[in-house]
Amino acid sequence: MRDVGIDRRALLRRVGGIAAGVATTSLTACETGADRDSTGTKGAKGSKTLVVRDAGGTYGAANRKAVYDPFTKETGIRIKVVNPLYEEMLAQIKKGRPRFDVMDTNMADLARFHQEDAIEELDYDRLKHAKDAGIAESLLTSYGLGKNYWASVMAYRTDAFGGKKPETWADFWDTKAFRGSRALQGSVDFPELEFALLADGVPLHKLYPLDVDRAFKALDEIKGSVRTFWEDGAVPGELLDRKEVVASRVWNGRLQDLIQRGAPLAYQWNGARRQSNGYGIPKGAENPDAAYRLIDFALRPEVQANTAKIYPQGPVVPIAYTNLSENDATNLASTPGHLASSFDLDVEWWLKNKDTVTKRWRKWMRA
């Protein structure tokens, strides 16, 4: 499982030109000079440094502007950011020496840490902004607390179908009424089974447990029209912009730069698959008190809203939308209208079945 990025050029402009690190397994990205001088002991102002793991890149830059810097200004606790991936994080925790105090990663990986007994049980009494905040129960787990929503959605060229627009995954699958090549994601994220089942008539509320055989049968029907299976989130926008495909599955936010420059592209949110990033505290964290303070700070409605204005991932606290304009909210996965027409990825089902399904998915793509 990978952290999902959004268009770098567009978001760096929105972040205000903040220099962003690249998500790697290095432990140095997104640090300020003061961060690098800190080792978790008392800082220049008598405060400690909190080490946060996030994905880096534009996502990390947005966190820096909307969350970390305001948190430091209010508390005096400086934030150092590191970017290890799952395997490295797990190895550090297993050795009893995690080099981070709080993890910002997808909820599926937090569940995996829980299975490995590598993550602390959260004390919700220490998170006042999570109480009665309207956060979905699925994001209030014992091992992790959801912090934002993002989604896999349909994208299409608005000039491709003679004035018609695809409104459902059934339309995406209908290559007679909506002619042209498609693109689907390869192995970079969870396979496309839910969209195939929606195209085949399965209702949103009856998707899980997934009927894997039915999904692959539906996928067989469209495979001949799939021009490519992409492995990089920037590729769908490039394919659509060059007219190499007329429709594709994309991560929301990836087309914003192209749309703002006038490209005839649009999102279709019906049947979108939502996922969430969340916060967790690794076992052995040196500074759990500051970790709780940061998590609680990030759940404030105004902080949630400011983050969404910079980076197109939706707030988990519904009242945050009162601080967002209609334009700000249009392409966020947790906008009320989008919540009603989309679904949450079932993390538990996928953790149990991902290896088997992904092996079959890769074999199907190559066939």
Q: Is residue 2 part of a domain?
A: no
CA angle 232, 13, 238 (to 5 degrees): 30
Do 184 and 263 share a domain, yes or no? yes
CA angle 207, 270, 235 (to 5 degrees): 100
Given a contact cutoff of 8 angstroms between Cβ atoms, the answer to whether 239 and 248 are in contact is yes
Do 234 and 97 share a domain, yes or no? no
Q: Which are the contacts of 111, defined by CB distance < 8 A and separation ≥ 6? A: 141, 143, 144, 347, 348, 351
Q: Is residue 3 part of a domain?
A: no
Q: Is residue 1 part of a domain?
A: no
Per-residue pLDDT of the chain (367 residues; tens, 9 = 90+): 455 444 434 443 444 433 333 333 333 333 333 333 333 434 334 459 999 999 998 899 999 999 999 999 999 999 999 999 999 999 999 999 999 999 999 999 999 999 999 999 999 999 999 999 999 999 999 999 999 999 999 999 999 999 899 999 999 999 999 999 999 999 988 999 999 999 999 999 999 999 999 999 999 999 999 999 999 988 999 999 999 999 999 998 888 889 889 999 999 999 999 999 999 999 999 999 999 999 999 999 999 999 999 999 999 999 999 999 998 998 899 998 899 999 999 999 999 999 999 999 999 999 9
Do 289 and 261 share a domain, yes or no? no
Do 242 and 361 share a domain, yes or no? yes
Domain total in the chain: 2
Instruction: Name the residue type at position 278.
Output: G
| Residue 83 DSSP one-character state | -
Dihedral over Cα of 24, 28, 32, 38: its sign: positive
* Tally of CA atoms within 13 A in the half-sphere of 60 that contains its CB: 26
Residue 209, preceding peptide bond in cis (omega within 30° of 0): yes
Do 58 and 130 share a domain, yes or no? yes
Do 265 and 280 share a domain, yes or no? no
* Bridge partners, 314 (sequence order): 149
Tokens of 85: 């991936």
Q: Is residue 105 part of a domain?
A: yes
SS3 at position 296: helix
The CA R_g of the chain, rounded to the nearest whole Å, is: 21
Show the domain range for 186.
Answer: 152-273+349-366
Do 208 and 289 share a domain, yes or no? no
Q: Is residue 319 part of a domain?
A: yes
Do 235 and 296 share a domain, yes or no? no
Q: Is residue 129 part of a domain?
A: yes
Q: Is residue 309 part of a domain?
A: yes
Do 212 and 355 share a domain, yes or no? yes
Place of tokens 């947790």: 334
Do 49 and 62 share a domain, yes or no? yes
Do 22 and 141 share a domain, yes or no? yes
Do 214 and 361 share a domain, yes or no? yes
Given a contact cutoff of 8 angstroms between Cβ atoms, the answer to whether 48 and 93 are in contact is no
- pTM reported for the whole predicted model: 0.83
Residue 282, preceding peptide bond in cis (omega within 30° of 0): no
Q: How many angstroms separate the first and last alpha carbons of the chain?
A: 23
Q: Is residue 158 part of a domain?
A: yes
| Residue 130 DSSP one-character state | G
* CATH code where residue 60 lies: 3.40.190.10
